[in-house]
Amino acid sequence: MRLENRVAVVTGGAAGIGKATAKVFVEQGATVCICDVNEAAGLETAKTLGCTFNKVDVSDRQAVQEWIDEIAEKYGRIDILINNAGILQDGVFVKVKDGELVKQMTEEAFDSVVDINLKGVFNCAQAVAPYMIRQGAGSIVNASSVVGLDGNFGQTNYVATKAGVVGMTKVWARELGRYNIRVNAVAPGMILTDMLLSMPENILETFKQKTPLKRLGTPQEVANLYLFLASDEASFISGEVIRVDGGIVIGT
């Protein structure tokens, strides 16, 4: 029971990596509170796992603050934040044909991904940090991605947010370390979530062949790293970005 008596907050917890994380945290003794914008899936996950669910858009600062305040009031503390929520809206940066611009990533696509993947991480961490400071301990784990480290074709917005998460992680590790708060990031590679499974089979096969382990990862394998970083076993690890990717280097 590596998380016994801990209160853990998981964003994007209704499905995929977030759901797998909530499950393993419950199994390891934590009181788990998840949020998601998918209310039906969130309620089902909460019922199945025995955790609490709130419908929260992490880009909505007031909604985030109200949710975190409610958790802190109910349980008296918040020990772990897993900043897992994220979205994709891929598109080429610019496409030119015969000297004419024919396509480009829209401002709306850029802004929406930044709002969830970057500002959402900021909102949740800033809401949780004062509670962790007062109790003198905490662990924040942020979801980055291998593409935030390597870049990837057609993902200007997503890559920008995941690289930004790495930067914020390192800043917060420096600023919050004096309060015994550890801040780390996880950089998953190609993981078998609904988001990835929506891609054509030939694309998935390409990912497998480019991964040295010759397979895709599972949500459980990412959740296991979240668990480690949230637990006392990682008590002297902070400011790190750890890849869970089977050895893949995007773009090669």
Average pLDDT over every residue of 6-21 = 98
Q: Does domain 7-244 have CATH number 3.40.50.720?
A: yes
pLDDT higher than threshold 70 for residue 53:
yes
Q: For residues 35 and 202, which has the higher predicted lDDT (pLDDT)?
A: 35
pLDDT band at 252 (very low <50, low <70, confident <90, very high): low
Residue 73 confidence class, pLDDT cut points 50, 70, 90 = very high
Tens digits of per-residue pLDDT, 169-193?
Answer: 999 999 999 999 999 999 999 999 9
The mean pLDDT value for 209-234 works out to: 96
Q: What is residue 140's predicted lDDT score, i.e. its pLDDT?
A: 99
What's the mean pLDDT when you consider all of the chain? 96
The one catalytic residue in 75, 158, 179, 226 is 158
pLDDT value at 21 more than 70: yes
pLDDT at 248 over 70: yes
> Across residues 43-66, what is the average pLDDT?
98
What's the pLDDT score for residue 200?
84
Q: Which two tokens stand for residue 67?
A: 């949710």
Average pLDDT over residues 204-232: 95
pLDDT, mean of residues 125-136: 98
Q: What is the pLDDT of residue 203?
A: 85
What's this model's pTM, rounded to 2 decimal places?
0.96
For the question of residue 131 being annotated catalytic, the response is no
Q: What is the mean pLDDT of residues 119-127?
A: 98
Kindly state the average pLDDT of the residues 212-239. 97
What pLDDT score was predicted for residue 249?
Answer: 85
* % of the chain beyond a pLDDT of 70: 99
